[in-house]
Amino acid sequence: MSGRLLVSVSSIFDQTRKATDALVKDLHAEGIGVSLLVAPHIDGNWKLAKDKATRAWLEDQLGQGRELILNGFDQPVQGRRSEFATLEKHEARLRLTGAIRQMERIGFTFTVFAPPRWRMSEGTSQVLPEFDFKVAASSRGLHDLRTGEFLQCRNLSVGEGFGAAKWWRQNVLAAATRGASRGNTIRLSVSGRNLVNPKVARDFRAAALAALEQGAQPRTYMTAI
């Protein structure tokens, strides 16, 4: 039985948009869609509301059928720690409410939520059903918030708190190939910050194509569960 292939890019802002666009177009040509993880704030000074070019690019991606995933509220707020990794219910609710409101003001709504670095606290998990999300993604797998169904599938990440060196990328490639050959669901994610390195972009693309060649079927997070 063939598994699923989910590919995503995070940390999309003015300095990473060009490299992200190149990967999206490249994989689209191979029949692989890329989900885009977006947040209203990144790196303290950057705000999506003030970046017309990135907003226009995201709107164009939506028009082409690309999936957008809400990826937190203020990614750098906790420094090296992931924003939603340790939050209690009250704080998680506040941050989700703030992120949704800010994104709605500039015309974006979401049915999928994924915390930065995929690290989701129990408190965050408990409050997600209060919002309009249909699916949530964590380091453990995919959570269908409508039915309670859970699809266990590990994430193979490059950058964004994970490795990006050559040996790490080789391990990601090997794991994607091996997992897809077994019919597992393969989740590949990369930080836009790392895609600006042509070698990272090349190796990440290779991992996605390897999974495809082993029979994994491209899906979005909404259609994978």
Residue 47: inside a domain: yes
Q: In angstroms, what CA-CA distances link 168 with 157, 162, 171, 199, 200?
A: 9, 9, 5, 12, 10
Q: Coil, helix or strand for 139?
A: coil
Domain CATH number, residue 25: 3.20.20.370
**How far apart are the C-alpha atoms of 70 and 126, rounded to whole Å?**
17
Total domain count for the chain? 1
Q: What is the pLDDT of residue 78?
A: 47
Residue 119: inside a domain: yes
Low-confidence ranges of the chain (pLDDT < 70): 1, 75-81
Q: What is the pLDDT of residue 77?
A: 46
Residue 225: inside a domain: no
Whole domain around residue 211: which residue ranges? 4-217
Residue 23: inside a domain: yes
Residue 224: inside a domain: no
Residue 164: inside a domain: yes
pLDDT in tens, 81-96: 689 999 999 999 999 9
Residue 223: inside a domain: no
**How far apart are the C-alpha atoms of 139 and 67, rounded to whole Å?**
19
Q: What is the pLDDT of residue 94?
A: 96
Q: Strands 46-47 and 41-42: what pairing?
A: antiparallel
| 84, 44, 71, 193: CA torsion to nearest 10 | -120
pLDDT in tens, 154-181: 899 999 889 999 999 999 999 999 999 9
Cα 27 off chain centre by:
15
**How far apart are the C-alpha atoms of 10 and 29, rounded to whole Å?**
20
pTM (2 decimals)?
0.95
